[in-house]
Chain A
Amino acid sequence: MEEGKVISQLVKESAAAYSIIHEKFGLAISDFDANETMPFFEVVDASLWTEIALFMRDHPKLKFNYMACLTGVDYPAEEKLGIICNFESLALLNHKLAVKVKCAREGGSIPSVACVWHTANWHEREAYDMFGMTFAGHPELRRILCPEDWEGYPLRKDYKVQDQYHGIKVPY
């Protein structure tokens, strides 16, 4: 956080929410990134992700009942894949916070939070479809937008489209 910079109310609320999570999980989560556009923290120990998610949903001062978005991301430089989740305490405490979770690029796995927020079910399927990370404990992890026998993960930065799909020429 830069000195003397005016911090908006929204970031202050997010920081307060972060400190509650930090108190409980300590080093399992990273420092708070207090940027103005999307304040977030990263889960360092990804195996605790489901537990952190449950804590975030159920703690009386957090109450993140609404998962607005779950974005899959590719970080080729770090050899990692990741997800970014945007949370909000809808109609209750009205604060927002974003969380990042990363995993290895090849064969990486992230714990699923579909049991915490129903909406994560399809979002995680989409992230799997586009990036290829698996979500451990997901009720039915299969492709959602691409055909089930599609090869490769289209939104990876090094994706090469397959030449043929059932005898149909693919790249044009």
Chain B
Amino acid sequence: MQELDTAGLGSVRVTRKSDTVVILEKDLATEQMVLAMGPQHPSTHGVLKLECLTDGEVITQAEPYLGYLHRCFEKCCENVDYPAVVPYTDRLDYLAGMNSEFAYAITVEKLLDIEIPRRVEFIRVIVAELNRIASHLVAIGTYGIDLGAFTPFLFCFRDREIILGLLEWASGARMLYNYIWVGGLAYDVPADFLKRVKEFVNYFRPKAVELSELLTENEIFVKRTFGIGIMPADVAINYGWSGPMLRGSGVKWDLRRNDPYSIYPELDFKVPVPDGKHSVIGDCLSRHLVRAWEMDESLKIIEQCIDKMPSAEGFNSRSAIPKRIRPKAGEVYGRAENPRGELGFYIESDGKSTKPVRCKARSSCFVNLSAMKDLSKGQLIPDLVAIIGSIDIVLGEVDR
């Protein structure tokens, strides 16, 4: 290609004819434009505002503004007893309430140092993994919508509805469950619940394949995501990324494996990371692939849990729940692998009160989103949509 000396011409508009570059216009006036994306915008997945400084189609800087959904979670926690925090945790990541409750429950249990009945652990893992699939289905479905594929969204929500039905059957609520309590569960699962879950697993396996044929192998979808928003592994770690985002950058890190809690060490599942054959490691497609692969692993975990589940005979889901939760003075940082990454709770107890002195939620979305400024630099506006979608934010968790 012939190099063209455009020095002194100002901004130019050029076209290429075979091997030569032809100048169509020169001395074009350009200026940077501020483009506010959100807070009400379908592709920001909630009330997030991105103030973009654009030069034509290229984003020179995108500054996220948060806090539109700030509900003082941490202040609320300081004013209620330990068990009463559980419903608030549902409202952090409202697409994965079970996982958030799970993270909070194991943190307080670590502080209390209590033993949990085995059947409780199995039920917790089953509902958490079901919720993980439901959450990934929303992530994948809405990501499709962001990039112009409407049908996968309907497929995802159809299957998610079955999971929500199952969880509603167990807990009484569709999204905000208040099911996993500190020390136990609100109720044992209904009779036949496991049978229905097994039916769902068998039903969902082929549907997951269908979904991946429809979306992951779709050429338009791949072209919109392949090589976009690449995040190298070391920068991702420095940014505190976790979960599918970090694994998308090729780091094999899953808290269920690397900092195991509950009964995960007994279960056999893989931690999928992109191999670079289908995607550029660290790009939007990698992150999408990790989520798609993870659903299969969750199905495997659920199946194993159903097989290994101890019987319900003489089982009381509330037997290990302390009458009054008043941990000894101390601090704890507990965490669990949520669909969006590491959800951690820092809890401080003074040993006297039944309320936490300080309860901080380390939100995975908040941390993942903090890399937005670097990720979006120099990208095109349509690619920005692809990047936000691949981060898979839930503003309830970002703003808390």
- Spell out A's residues near B (CB within 8 Å): 35, 37-38, 40, 65-69, 71-74, 84, 86, 90-91, 94, 98, 117-119, 121-123, 126, 130, 143-147, 154-155
Across the two chains, which residue of chain A brings its CB closest to B345?
A69
> B399 to A90, Cβ gap below 8 A?
no
What would 15 more interface pairs be, CB under 8 Å, given A37-B111, A68-B342?
A35-B331, A40-B331, A65-B238, A66-B237, A68-B333, A69-B346, A118-B238, A118-B370, A119-B370, A122-B370, A143-B67, A145-B66, A145-B70, A146-B70, A155-B74
List 16 contacting pairs A-B, 8 Å CB cutoff, sorted by A: A37-B333, A65-B234, A68-B333, A69-B333, A69-B360, A86-B333, A90-B251, A91-B253, A118-B239, A119-B367, A119-B370, A121-B370, A122-B366, A126-B366, A144-B67, A146-B70
Interface residues in B182-235 by Cβ distance below 8 A to A read 234-235
Distance in Å: Cβ of B136 to nearest Cβ of chain A: 23
**Residue from B67, B348, B366 in contact with A73 in the complex, judged by beta carbons closer than 8 Å:** B348
- Do A68 and B370 form a contact, CB below 8 Å, given A37-B331, A73-B358, A146-B67? no
Instruction: Tell yes or no: B344 within 8 A of A by CB.
Output: yes
Bound form: Cα–Cα A119–B331 in Å: 22
Instruction: Tell yes or no: B252 within 8 A of A by CB.
Output: yes
> B240 to A117, Cβ gap below 8 A?
yes
> A118 to B331, Cβ gap below 8 A?
no
- Spell out B's residues near A (CB within 8 Å): 66-67, 70, 72, 74-75, 110-111, 234-235, 237-240, 251-253, 258, 330-333, 335, 342, 344, 346, 348, 358, 360, 362, 366-367, 370-371, 374, 399-400
List chain B residues, Cβ under 8 A from A37: 110-111, 330-333
**Residue from A68, A98, A143 in contact with B240 in the complex, judged by beta carbons closer than 8 Å:** A68
Distance in Å: Cβ of B116 to nearest Cβ of chain A: 16
Distance in Å: Cβ of A150 to nearest Cβ of chain B: 10
Distance in Å: Cβ of A125 to nearest Cβ of chain B: 9
Bound form: Cα–Cα A13–B70 in Å: 38
Bound form: Cα–Cα A75–B67 in Å: 25
B interface majority secondary structure: mixed
Distance in Å: Cβ of A51 to nearest Cβ of chain B: 18
> B238 to A35, Cβ gap below 8 A?
no
Bound form: Cα–Cα A145–B397 in Å: 12
Bound form: Cα–Cα A130–B359 in Å: 13
> A38 to B72, Cβ gap below 8 A?
no
Bound form: Cα–Cα A35–B331 in Å: 9
- Do A66 and B240 form a contact, CB below 8 Å, given A38-B333, A84-B331, A146-B70? yes
- Do A35 and B239 form a contact, CB below 8 Å, given A73-B348, A118-B370? no
List chain A residues, Cβ under 8 A from B374: 118
**Residue from B74, B234, B240, B360 in contact with A67 in the complex, judged by beta carbons closer than 8 Å:** B240
List chain A residues, Cβ under 8 A from B331: 35, 37-38, 40, 84
Distance in Å: Cβ of B361 to nearest Cβ of chain A: 9
Question: Which 5 pairs across A and B sit closest by C-beta, in order of nearness?
Answer: A119-B240, A37-B332, A69-B362, A122-B370, A145-B67
Across the two chains, which residue of chain A brings its CB closest to B349?
A37
List chain B residues, Cβ under 8 A from A119: 238-240, 367, 370
List chain B residues, Cβ under 8 A from A130: 74
Distance in Å: Cβ of B66 to nearest Cβ of chain A: 6
Bound form: Cα–Cα A52–B258 in Å: 26
Bound form: Cα–Cα A122–B331 in Å: 23
Across the two chains, which residue of chain A brings its CB closest to B107?
A37
- Do A154 and B72 form a contact, CB below 8 Å, given A38-B333, A144-B66, A145-B399? yes
List chain A residues, Cβ under 8 A from B332: 37-38
Bound form: Cα–Cα A121–B63 in Å: 13
List chain A residues, Cβ under 8 A from B362: 68-69, 71
Bound form: Cα–Cα A152–B54 in Å: 35
Across the two chains, which residue of chain A brings its CB closest to B246?
A90
> A94 to B258, Cβ gap below 8 A?
yes
Bound form: Cα–Cα A27–B195 in Å: 62
Across the two chains, which residue of chain B brings its CB closest to A100?
B331
> B237 to A91, Cβ gap below 8 A?
yes
> A98 to B258, Cβ gap below 8 A?
no
Across the two chains, which residue of chain A brings its CB closest to B367?
A119
List chain B residues, Cβ under 8 A from A72: 360
Across the two chains, which residue of chain A brings its CB closest to B67?
A145
Distance in Å: Cβ of B331 to nearest Cβ of chain A: 5
> A117 to B238, Cβ gap below 8 A?
yes
Distance in Å: Cβ of B78 to nearest Cβ of chain A: 8
List chain B residues, Cβ under 8 A from A35: 330-331
List chain B residues, Cβ under 8 A from A68: 240, 333, 335, 342, 344, 362
